[in-house]
Amino acid sequence: MNQNKINGMMARRSVVLLALFLVFALIVVGTLFDLQVLKYDQYQQSVLDQITIETKVNAERGAIYDRNGKTLATNTTVWLVFISPQDIIDAMAEEDAEVYTVANTDGTEATVPMNELIARRLSEILGVDYSKILEKAAKVGRRYEVIKAGVEKELADQIRAFIDQYDLTSQIYLTASATRYYPYSTLASHALGFVNSDGVGIYGLERYYNNILEGTEGKYVTAQDAKGDDMAFEYETYVEAKNGYNLMTTLDIYIQYELENQVKAAALDSAAANRACGIVVNPKTGEIYAMATYPPFDLNSPYTLDSWSQSMLDELDLTGEDYTEKYFELVYTMWNNKAVTELYEPGSTFKILTTAISLDEGMASLQDSFYCTGSKKIEGYGRPISCHKNTGHGNLSFAEALQQSCNPAMMTIAARIGRQVFYDYFLDLGYSEKTGVDVPGESKSYYHTYKDFSNVSLAVYSFGQTFKTTPIQQLMAICSVANGGYLVTPHFMKEIVDDDGNTVLSYETNVKRQVLSSESCAAIAKILEEGVSGNGGAKNAYVAGYKVAAKTGTSEKKDKYDASGNTTYRVGSCVAFAPYDDPQVAVILMVDEPTKGSRYGSTVAAPYVANLLSDVLPYLGVEPDYSPEELAKVQVTIGSYVGAATSVAENALKSKGLRYEIVGTGEFVTSQLPASGSKISSSTGKIILYTGGETPKATVTVPNLVGKTAEAANKLLIDSGLNICIEGTINYDEGEGATVVSQSPAPGTVLAPSDVVTVRFMYLDGDD
């Protein structure tokens, strides 16, 4: 091999070795760059994690308020009580370990060591089993054994006093934490929802706005050695916790309270088998003033069944797994917000929309008339579709067709509108989409696709059957008539504010679209009001002094059968808005499966809507405007005349136009009937003032008024010398006339002359 070849080989080897060294050097440099530059923060944190202690700083969950600033959900402090078993053991092992004298339940005294003292006292204060505490106190090496969580302040103070009394600061500990608290307990429970044990919203507004309410957790980091002592070098950092924002809602606790009262009364009076619900909104803005489902549940104890659900569970007499399964089924049902999550067929309340569409499209006019024979034949359907009045309504005007809730008239109107146009309006009114209400769990309606939307579908849709919607969706569609044709989004959120009261976000009314003309809506609203104040099917929704537009509905549950295989289950409902020409409020009340008395919405829902509006409208500042006929029936509240000079009392009654009688010859009134605060008829009422020591004497037997007409009941009481206080509708002489459905006191009770008998009138001739 010549020298040139040898030199060439050596040169190539040198190059290869140099390249290898360069590659190795690059790898080393790259690794160092990766470790010291690219991953510096990661490895620094790894080191710090091994030598630092991180303490969490909890953020406080934001409060929830009603529209007037009343607190609906807030936080309260509770304490976790735990013991350090090792410190107890160490203290007892000392040579001079103390023993303690305690009193026994029988009055004697006993001497006990520290562990028994602690177990005794904590058991007494916290109601925890003595033996379990003693068992935990014996755990060697343990410094954290929980005795009880969620301890209220009163008990925590007792434990602090116990610690101070016996110097047990190393053995017993209390740590404070915030827990969610609902001041009104059951009020608006289905809307507000609640949080879980970790403080996370899992239901209602608490869940929907959880990210806004919960805030951001902070932390405090310090360096410590393996013994838990601070390191020689200084290292600490503090990340401040950020409290959650507060939620100002559109709810009004007064309106909520009144709604819950009426929903409860409607459910109980009709013995509703599947609960009842109601909603009150501002029809122009979509603000929800109140939303209720009966029965409610206790937000501070959400896993405790309400009495209604508990009685259902008790009746089943279950044990073991069967009991547990049924219990949780009832709990989840109890939590369900019926107004948002459950579907129903709206029935005749939908006729408001059918008639509005027909006017909007020029397919009907206020001058139209219809003839109802009691049914109508629809092509493609085997038998005629019935009206609720099987004998037929005969001749009806357009207004009467809606007021008397005539099915054949609605089918005729819908046929004029046509399938395509009707279906397009149906979609535009929001029935194909969720409303977007800001609580979780809203259900989507059930309806036919256009491909399956036949002439028969058109006919039955016209009176609200064979499709399903939610109460909130139905109410918002009705609100589009109340507000002049606009579909708006219902909402609970009014504002998001910080702890300083600064507004972070406010809700602006969301108008999705205009569906109907204002002219058509105004015409339908007027027809509805005239039906309420006149002889329409919604007469029970009448409120004296106010122009209420209302419509009732009753639908069959075609998909649910009784033991005999019949579809006997019904849903009764009523929608209303007032005043009809400038609505400030709109309402829906729905009773699911009424089982007692009439099952029509006109009797199971409308009277309770009237009761609600009679309280809510004045509260909202809507002044009553009585007609002369209404003024004659208005009831007056009796003032107090006891102690007044007889002449002064007499002049006061004269000025009010009230009939009166004076018994005795004294100068001052010593007694009166009716009592102060009682309500009586302004036209037929009579007051008796007793003077000179005279007193009322019970001599009049209360007659039986139930089932009597208004005229007959009035006459019976006047002839008996008793006063009448009227509950329910006071337009009791419209149509066939209302009847007495209840009275108090009961028949046979003996009263003094001019005492008051309260009667409740209701129209029982209405159906839907």
The band of 635, judged by pLDDT with boundaries at 50, 70 and 90, is confident
What is the dihedral sign for C-alpha 664, 667, 668, 670?
Answer: negative
Q: Of 93, 98, 102, which is closest to residue 120 (Cα–Cα)?
A: 102
Same domain, 640 and 613: no
Same domain, 414 and 548: yes
At residue 237, the pLDDT reads: 61
Looking at 625, 646, 677, the residue that finishes a domain is 625
At residue 40, the pLDDT reads: 62
Same domain, 95 and 28: no
At residue 197, the pLDDT reads: 84
Alpha-carbon distance of 184 to 346, in angstroms, equals 32
pLDDT at 630 over 90: no
Other beta carbons within 10 Å of 19: 10
Mean pLDDT value across residues 620-638? 87
pLDDT at 233 over 60: no
Number of structural domains (the chain) is 4
Q: Find the range with the poorest average confidence among 21-35, 207-221, 726-740.
A: 21-35
The band of 226, judged by pLDDT with boundaries at 50, 70 and 90, is very low
Taking only the tens place, the pLDDT of each residue in 443-482 is 999 999 999 999 999 999 999 999 999 999 999 999 999 9
Alpha-carbon distance of 285 to 280, in angstroms, equals 12
Taking only the tens place, the pLDDT of each residue in 291-336 is 999 999 999 999 999 998 999 999 998 888 999 999 999 999 999 9
Mean pLDDT value across residues 347-356? 97
Same domain, 563 and 647: no
Alpha-carbon distance of 578 to 422, in angstroms, equals 27
Same domain, 210 and 87: yes
> Does residue 49 lie within any of the structural domains?
no
The band of 79, judged by pLDDT with boundaries at 50, 70 and 90, is confident
Alpha-carbon distance of 714 to 709, in angstroms, equals 8
Alpha-carbon distance of 278 to 259, in angstroms, equals 7
Alpha-carbon distance of 30 to 149, in angstroms, equals 54
pLDDT at 229 over 90: no
> Does residue 297 lie within any of the structural domains?
no
Among the residues of 167-200, which ranges form H helices?
A: 189-192
Q: Of 473, 509, 461, 535, which is closest to residue 738 (Cα–Cα)?
A: 535
Q: Find the range with the poorest average confidence among 10-19, 582-591, 685-694, 719-728.
A: 10-19
Spatial contact of 93 and 105, defined as CB atoms under 8 Å apart = no
Same domain, 20 and 98: no
At residue 407, the pLDDT reads: 96
Looking at 604, 625, 646, the residue that finishes a domain is 625
The band of 597, judged by pLDDT with boundaries at 50, 70 and 90, is confident
At residue 25, the pLDDT reads: 65
> Does residue 328 lie within any of the structural domains?
no
pLDDT at 102 over 50: yes
Alpha-carbon distance of 128 to 133, in angstroms, equals 7
Alpha-carbon distance of 374 to 368, in angstroms, equals 19
CA 516 to chain centre: 30
At residue 356, the pLDDT reads: 98
At residue 382, the pLDDT reads: 84
> Does residue 397 lie within any of the structural domains?
yes
Give, in order, the Cα–Cα distances in Å from 522 to each of 67, 263, 483: 30, 29, 9
Same domain, 140 and 109: yes
Mean pLDDT value across residues 371-385? 91
Provide the CATH number for the domain around residue 664. Answer: 3.30.10.20
Same domain, 427 and 561: yes
Domain limits for position 13:
3-38
At residue 77, the pLDDT reads: 83
Looking at 625, 650, 680, the residue that finishes a domain is 625
Same domain, 81 and 206: yes
Provide the CATH number for the domain around residue 542. Answer: 3.40.710.10
101 contacts: CB under 8 Å, gap ≥ 6: 109, 110, 111
As a whole number, the mean pLDDT across the chain is 89
> Does residue 230 lie within any of the structural domains?
no
Same domain, 532 and 647: no
Taking only the tens place, the pLDDT of each residue in 709-768 is 888 888 899 899 999 888 877 677 666 678 898 999 999 999 999 999 999 888 887 667
> Does residue 391 lie within any of the structural domains?
yes
240, HSE (Cβ side, Cα atoms, 13 Å): 3
pLDDT at 555 over 60: yes
At residue 228, the pLDDT reads: 45
pLDDT at 59 over 90: no
The band of 14, judged by pLDDT with boundaries at 50, 70 and 90, is low
Same domain, 177 and 202: yes
Share of the chain above pLDDT 90, in %: 68
At residue 227, the pLDDT reads: 44
Mean pLDDT value across residues 129-142? 91
At residue 182, the pLDDT reads: 96
At residue 132, the pLDDT reads: 94
> Does residue 367 lie within any of the structural domains?
yes
> Does residue 141 lie within any of the structural domains?
yes
Alpha-carbon distance of 29 to 34, in angstroms, equals 8
* Distance linking the first and last C-alpha atoms of the chain: 118
Mean pLDDT value across residues 426-438? 97
At residue 138, the pLDDT reads: 92
What residues form DSSP beta bridges with 80? Answer: 175
Same domain, 455 and 551: yes
